Structure 1
Amino acid sequence: MPQQQSLFDTSPPVWELDDAEQRRVARVVLSSGPAGEFDYLVPDQFADARKPEFLAEAGRRVSVPLGRGDRAVVGYCVDVSVTTTGGRKLKSLAGVLDASPLLSPRMLELGQWIADYYMTPLGQVLECILPAGVRGKAGTRETTLFSVPTKVAARLTTLELPEKQLAVLKVLAGSTKPLTMKQLMMRAECTSGPINTLRKKELIASRVERIDTDPLLDQEFTRRGPMTLNPAQVAALKSITAALDSRRPRTMLLHGVTGSGKTEVYIQAIEKVVSFGRQAIVLVPEISLTPQTVGRFRERFDRVAVLHSHQSDVERHRQWKRIASGDVQVVVGARSAIFAPTPHLGLVVIDEEHETSFKQDTAPRYHARDVALERTRMDKVPLVLGSATPSLETWQAAQSGQYELISMPDRVSNLPLPEVRAVDLRREEHRQGSRGAISRPLSQAMTVALADGGQVMLLLNRRGYSTHVQCPACGFALKCPDCDVSMVYHRQANHVVCHWCDRTEPPPTYCPDCKDANIRYGGFGTQKLEAEVAARFPNHPVLRMDTDSMRRPGSHEQALDSFRNGEVDILLGTQMIAKGLDFPNVTLVGVVNADTSLHFPDFRAAERTFHLVTQVAGRTGRGERGGRVLVQTLSPDHPAIVAAMNHDYEGFAASELPEREMLGYPPYGRMARLVIRGPVDKVTLAVGDDLAAKVREACREVRVIGPAPCTIAKLRNLFRYHILVVAPNRETLRTALAPLAGKLKLPEDVQWIVDIDPIDMM
């Protein structure tokens, strides 16, 4: 292999072998450093099956010498074979790092598919598949567990103890499993004092074990039986059951309106999977991975594993081992849970499949939906994609017969969908009497809803207090010096922030250009909306949910619990409040600015707007009291806004898809986005021109757009250009990008990335 020769042919050989001699050779990919596969000889001590903990085999990590200096690096063994060396001079493995394979043959096969499709080195892909806690062998924490000895439990009613100590004993005796100190203190509502006293009296026993510390595991859930399904749910479950019985890979789109009971259908389908002794993976957007969501599965299944980004390495490692052992029935997680090492996979479900968070924004830039399609094809199991607003790629595949379409057009209990009305902000009467973000119609509707005992949700998909800082005298606008974007004022912390590079500065008190003191803080973010709502409705508690206010661990769950319990009357925030939440007492939803992303230079802008408005509208009308939605917009006639107000997904798709087809955009073609960035503008553009020329020369069947400045032309002090490559199919796109797959000679400090099937055009 040319890459291997250039690295190794000048190094002193460890083995010089005859062409005909056969040796055991390990094929290794590196987790960092040069791409490609490299062959190493397997010494006898790593080929002895009687010592499995030292055995070199596919799926284990190994230590290998690299380069002239034989620098020790970590790699993944992807194959071991007995073969002739062909006279090559090969180095030997230096060590085997894992006592057993971390990656199954199926995961290695899936990793290779990801590497090929997303043009990412296999070693980097395998590093992504394996969580850091698994690679680092993160241990569990030693924790003291308390229980009541049998002889003490037998005479519990005769013990004369202080009230607190007796309460501790009763809680502990009534628990089905030993409890940690924290769990016991919470349930007995006491401090550690009574517990320690009972230990000294030898009335409770303690032992030290290594256990996981996932707070979700500390909660006990009451088991619930299956719910009664309506006819549409029964038909949907029957279709999924037929796919399970066929034991063939089938992809189904479960298209159900918000509140139609899709989750119950998933759960009953998974119950059938579990009855076969198999496992299921359920992917949900990270933002929906709350105790409420996880709790619904733990109420129905004994052994549920959870994988999410807020887990420590220790927690993730323990969950990974439980899953790999086959001890888990259901894996619930965000994007990366598609790599869960289930040995007996029977079904994969992706809820809210349209969510952009299923696309990874760093290499490998995979989409969990497409990886799931490939994994279920390999494992010959069904895939269920669920959404009230499917991505147009998924919808078109269902319309063409590639996927099976399952419709659930009505809400459970035949509850009506909420009435949605547009507030045209171009009309003067809607702005009269309001200098803030809330129009008169929305303010009046909030007053009525709150007076009637209902709750209100307000969506504004912009963080901060003021979205731009500008001088009215000379027109100066405050921008980040490292990025081509406006800095946002945050009043609570009293600073201006760039939301792209996190640069923070004190707010200006006068114009830096003309020194005018009347600098203006304009635009509305969630902080300013919170202040306005609090001033208008002082007797109603307000809660803001955005990435600035939800930084502490558990803050997201606490906020939702307080709203669900009625402690908060008005919940406002960004898109994190728009999806997957069920609050029956919400009788009004207000979209403060539906145009936030409508006019972005992105062919998916209308689709994103339709998804967001439809999803947030679905948060109301889930109880007997019904609900209504007001959408403030400057574009009330835009097809995406009109379709969202009418709950008309099919109408939106019918208006949007012909335009996509005319331009050859997905789902009628394949696309790649190349982004080039560098510190010198002209040099970066020249590299972009060169890459675009290479693509055009490689394949005349593709359309190459650019290079052109990115929407954010400068980010973190680097100039940015992008190129869009549009091809009629996957094979043509691969041909066009083939010249970029090898090593490219680029000027120093200029970098480029390729994003296959891009979601973000910024």
Structure 2
Amino acid sequence: MAQQQNLFDTTPPAWELDDAETKLVARVVLSTGPTGEFDYLVPENFADERRPEMLVEAGRRVQVPLGRGNRPVVAYCTQVGLEPVAGRRLKLLAAVLDTSPLLTPRMLELGRWIAEYYLTPLGQVLEGILPAGVRGKAGTRETTLFSVPTRVSANFTRLDLPEKQAKALMVLAASSKPLAMKQWMARAECTAAPINALRKKELVESRVERIDTDPLLEEEVERRAPHELNTEQAAALHTIADALESREQQTLLLHGVTGSGKTEVYIQAIEKVVSYGRQAIVLVPEISLTPQTVGRFRERFDNVAVLHSHQSDVERHRQWKRIAAGGVQVVVGARSAIFAPTPHLGLVVIDEEHETSFKQDTAPRYHARQVAIQRTKMDRVPLILGSATPSLETWHAAKAGEYRLVTLENRVSDLPLPTVRAVDLRDMDHRHNRGAISRPLYQAMGVALNDGGQVILMLNRRGYSTHVQCPSCGFALKCPQCDVSMVYHRAANQVTCHWCDYTELPPTYCPECKDANIRYGGLGTQKLEAEVRARFPKARVLRMDTDSMRRPGSHEQALDSFRAGEVDILLGTQMIAKGLDFPNVTLVGVINADTALHWPDFRASERTFHLVTQVAGRTGRGDRGGRVLVQTLSPDHPAIVAAMQHNYRMFADNELPDREMLGYPPFGRMARVVVRGKNEEVAQAVASGFAEQMQATESGGSVIGPAPCAIAKLREYYRFHLLIKAGSIEQLHATLAPLAGKLKLPDDVQWIADIDPIDMM
């Protein structure tokens, strides 16, 4: 091992060692606190291979003394080996916290890559890889386990014990593994008295361990046979099978229109993987992780594990252990499931790969797609990226030959794509169209409902009114902690900031000029629901957004009701736009396609195209066909036009030249540095200092800014950001190098660096 930084001070315990000595040294990273790797001596009792549950090895957590006060802290052991320790004063490692490694050597290697790529301390990365329920051993409890020492079992004939004690001792000796008190009492058919007597006579030994509580039973699912593939699907599967048999890493883009049967191709590819005795990981957006999605896999595979953020720590820990044991065929989960501890990985699939939810918004700020590419390279297995609307980064890589492009041009059973029509809100007579639903959309809804069809309405704005404003003086009600408008929620009779959750009672008059005619303007899903119920009083209406879906299981219950035909009109935010397959939906209405079109974000057009295309794909999935009406003030915008024509290539061909001209991804690499502070001038000064340091690197990267963020104040902090653009990841890292060291910052000033940023707000 190369010598690393040590945690050293002059207070005991520290030992000066002879020049010739080598000792067993553990290298660790701290889960919090100082960064870097630190060396500790391994005491002999933690190096005894006869006691594997106490052994120090890479991947286990340990407890080490830190600083002058020897404060005990948790650390991750990353390496153990004999090392010359001449002249070094090293502290002794204090305890081993795990009875087996929580991280395999391969996952430690992946963690190091994430730390280097995303400029995040390794200890923080490892904390992010392991779910809290796994670290805390959720669902286990401390239990005393009893066994018979060898010295006792070899001398049974010499022991003179009462009958009950003798029977209890014989039962314990006959057990193949240590027994807990209740187990021992049940098998020996005795009370605790004879057992306690044996303990006093020191004829048994005990140790305290954490053991599993009773696991939950899996819900039984009816098995289904594979669907017959059409010609396009069969060709796609053949291409994937070639990649599987190559036993090399390949990234494949499965580009298929909505309803083209991508999921069936994934499943049949995974069936091949399972037949080889290997495992697959399938990532889906959290919003799409419904029983419908998971059910498709459970209908086809015997052992499916699910990992997502809404699970309890107990369930998450249980699923993690099942996966690590090798008994799981398929892991289905959201972003963090890319870290599932599959011992025999054979394939990774990322469905709806364009989804922004695959990017983590807290440290480590990884993108699951980028991590999946690296993990599949390490394991030499294929990666499938699937989408009807791939991210432009993925599409460009496929067109450039870096990824293998596989296309599904048609829907299954040759069902036609729905017709899409724009409703130009500029042409509306607002004297007769005061609500959210235009006359053409109202009429189309009436026809669909009269024919027994179902309707989906999408509006990507929560609440009732999106802003509160005084018509007399122009005052706009903003959050006192954030530079954003407060949203009025009529059901709760409160105004809320959707960024920090600050709430207060709505004003009855203008706080500035005292005018009583304060107006509640803008349109949210709650106001849309009220209008739909008023205009279609006989229709059964259901709203789905984060406000109405707070109870556990409410999301699944809502979709089950809609699938069963108990709901006629489903309205909501983007959570209803993706991954849902309801053949009886004959009409989709996009209430306002422009909500994200003009954001200060170079991906605004791409997001709009994705959303409109995806929600349009929710209809026309049955024999009855379907249609889509898109209400917009920008019917001629290239993203809207391409979405209405279901033409991804048209959108990409129009958007990519602009990206190339400006050096934006995929034609360059980007990072975003955000500085925030309670004092606006101080925060701006720190951001300016960062810009000067990075500009002085002469690394080839360009630094733009600093400038106030689109949301200039958030949770009482003023925010400034810088954009760094470079031709390669190496240039990007070199430009950011001045920020990698220890920086002395004023109090209350914080900063983050986001590699490959998705959120520009």
Under a length normalisation based on structure 2, what TM-score does the superposition of the two structures give?
A: 0.90
What is aligned with 1:80? 80
Counterpart residue type for residue 92 of structure 1: L
- Tell me the alpha carbon deviations over residues 202-260 of structure 1, each in whole angstroms, 9 at most, x when there is no partner: xxxxxxx94334xxx65321111110000000000000000000000000000000000
What is aligned with 1:154? none
Whole-angstrom CA distance in 2 between matches of 1:269 and 1:521: 53
Whole-angstrom CA distance in 2 between matches of 1:741 and 1:657: 32
Correspondence 1:643 to 2:646: no
**Conserved 8 A contact 2:699-2:734:** no
Shift of 1:12: 3.9
What is aligned with 1:531? 530
Whole-angstrom CA distance in 1 between matches of 2:235 and 2:730: 37
What is aligned with 2:119? 119
**Conserved 8 A contact 2:64-2:74:** yes
Shift of 1:81: 1.1
Whole-angstrom CA distance in 2 between matches of 1:540 and 1:670: 50
What is aligned with 1:197? none
Counterpart residue type for residue 215 of structure 2: D
Number of residue-to-residue matches in the alignment: 692
> Map of 1:187-202 to 2, 5 A cutoff?
none
Whole-angstrom CA distance in 1 between matches of 2:102 and 2:237: 35
Correspondence 1:211 to 2:214: yes
Counterpart residue type for residue 287 of structure 2: I
What is aligned with 1:46? 46
**Conserved 8 A contact 2:683-2:749:** yes
Counterpart residue type for residue 297 of structure 2: F
Shift of 1:701: 1.3
- Tell me the alpha carbon deviations over residues 410-435 of structure 1, each in whole angstroms, 9 at most, x when there is no partner: 00000000000101101134x45221
> Map of 1:459-474 to 2, 5 A cutoff?
459-474=458-473
Counterpart residue type for residue 38 of structure 1: F
What is aligned with 2:347? 347
- Tell me the alpha carbon deviations over residues 271-301 of structure 1, each in whole angstroms, 9 at most, x when there is no partner: 0000011000000000111111110000000
**Conserved 8 A contact 1:432-1:440:** no
Correspondence 1:612 to 2:611: yes
Counterpart residue type for residue 211 of structure 1: D
What is aligned with 1:139? 139
Shift of 1:700: 4.5
Q: Secondary structure at the match of 2:737?
A: helix
**Conserved 8 A contact 1:212-1:314:** no
What is aligned with 2:128? 128
Shift of 1:14: 1.7
Counterpart residue type for residue 755 of structure 1: D
Whole-angstrom CA distance in 2 between matches of 1:86 and 1:312: 49
Q: Secondary structure at the match of 1:211?
A: coil
What is aligned with 1:260? 260
Counterpart residue type for residue 649 of structure 1: Y
Q: Secondary structure at the match of 1:426?
A: helix
Whole-angstrom CA distance in 1 between matches of 2:267 and 2:398: 23
**Conserved 8 A contact 1:140-1:315:** no
- Tell me the alpha carbon deviations over residues 178-206 of structure 1, each in whole angstroms, 9 at most, x when there is no partner: xxxxxxxxxxxxxxxxxxxxxxxxxxxxx
Correspondence 1:624 to 2:623: yes
- Tell me the alpha carbon deviations over residues 304-331 of structure 1, each in whole angstroms, 9 at most, x when there is no partner: 0000111111101110000000000000
Whole-angstrom CA distance in 2 between matches of 1:700 and 1:44: 49
Whole-angstrom CA distance in 1 between matches of 2:214 and 2:562: 32
Q: Secondary structure at the match of 2:133?
A: helix
What is aligned with 1:169? none
**Conserved 8 A contact 2:9-2:67:** no
Whole-angstrom CA distance in 2 between matches of 1:81 and 1:739: 33
The 1:86–1:672 alpha-carbon spacing in structure 2 relative to 1, beyond 3 Å, is farther
- Tell me the alpha carbon deviations over residues 116-141 of structure 1, each in whole angstroms, 9 at most, x when there is no partner: 00111100100011111111111259
What is aligned with 1:334? 334
Whole-angstrom CA distance in 2 between matches of 1:244 and 1:414: 28
Shift of 1:2: 11
Counterpart residue type for residue 454 of structure 2: Q
> Map of 1:403-552 to 2, 5 A cutoff?
403-429=403-429, 431-552=430-551
Counterpart residue type for residue 528 of structure 2: L
What is aligned with 1:180? none
What is aligned with 2:390? 390
Shift of 1:86: 4.0
Correspondence 1:237 to 2:240: no
What is aligned with 1:15? 15
What is aligned with 1:596? 595
Whole-angstrom CA distance in 1 between matches of 2:613 and 2:431: 28
**Conserved 8 A contact 1:676-1:722:** yes
- Tell me the alpha carbon deviations over residues 81-136 of structure 1, each in whole angstroms, 9 at most, x when there is no partner: 10112411110100000001010000000000000001111001000111111111
What is aligned with 1:747? 746
Under a length normalisation based on structure 1, what TM-score does the superposition of the two structures give?
A: 0.90
Whole-angstrom CA distance in 2 between matches of 1:373 and 1:599: 32
- Tell me the alpha carbon deviations over residues 50-104 of structure 1, each in whole angstroms, 9 at most, x when there is no partner: 1101100000000000000000000000000101124111101000000010100
**Conserved 8 A contact 2:286-2:308:** yes
**Conserved 8 A contact 1:593-1:631:** yes
Whole-angstrom CA distance in 2 between matches of 1:744 and 1:552: 44
Whole-angstrom CA distance in 1 between matches of 2:448 and 2:355: 30
Shift of 1:18: 2.4
Whole-angstrom CA distance in 2 between matches of 1:421 and 1:333: 35
The 1:53–1:394 alpha-carbon spacing in structure 2 relative to 1, beyond 3 Å, is same
Whole-angstrom CA distance in 1 between matches of 2:4 and 2:382: 40
Shift of 1:702: 1.1
Q: Secondary structure at the match of 1:484?
A: coil
**Conserved 8 A contact 2:141-2:213:** yes
- Tell me the alpha carbon deviations over residues 700-738 of structure 1, each in whole angstroms, 9 at most, x when there is no partner: 511111000000000011100000000011110011111
Whole-angstrom CA distance in 1 between matches of 2:115 and 2:539: 53
What is aligned with 2:299? 299
The 1:700–1:273 alpha-carbon spacing in structure 2 relative to 1, beyond 3 Å, is closer
Whole-angstrom CA distance in 1 between matches of 2:553 and 2:492: 21
Structure 1 residue ranges without an equivalent (≥5): 143-208
Structure 2 residue ranges without an equivalent (≥5): 143-211
Whole-angstrom CA distance in 1 between matches of 2:437 and 2:101: 58
Whole-angstrom CA distance in 1 between matches of 2:702 and 2:600: 18
- Tell me the alpha carbon deviations over residues 503-556 of structure 1, each in whole angstroms, 9 at most, x when there is no partner: 010000110011111110000000000000000000001100000000100000
Q: Secondary structure at the match of 2:642?
A: helix
What is aligned with 1:713? 712
**Conserved 8 A contact 2:224-2:299:** yes
Counterpart residue type for residue 245 of structure 1: E
**Conserved 8 A contact 1:141-1:211:** no
Correspondence 1:92 to 2:88: no
> Map of 1:311-322 to 2, 5 A cutoff?
311-322=311-322
Whole-angstrom CA distance in 2 between matches of 1:141 and 1:62: 19
Whole-angstrom CA distance in 2 between matches of 1:219 and 1:305: 12
What is aligned with 1:361? 361
Counterpart residue type for residue 311 of structure 1: Q
Whole-angstrom CA distance in 2 between matches of 1:99 and 1:141: 14
Counterpart residue type for residue 285 of structure 1: P
Whole-angstrom CA distance in 1 between matches of 2:271 and 2:4: 50
Q: Secondary structure at the match of 2:631?
A: strand
**Conserved 8 A contact 1:348-1:382:** yes
Counterpart residue type for residue 654 of structure 1: D
What is aligned with 1:287? 287
What is aligned with 2:554? 555
Whole-angstrom CA distance in 2 between matches of 1:316 and 1:474: 54
Whole-angstrom CA distance in 2 between matches of 1:428 and 1:641: 18
Shift of 1:3: 9.0
Whole-angstrom CA distance in 1 between matches of 2:478 and 2:570: 31
What is aligned with 2:656? 657
Whole-angstrom CA distance in 2 between matches of 1:258 and 1:140: 44
Whole-angstrom CA distance in 2 between matches of 1:8 and 1:319: 40
**Conserved 8 A contact 1:487-1:496:** yes
| RMSD of Structure 2 on Structure 1 (CA) | 1.5
Shift of 1:15: 1.4
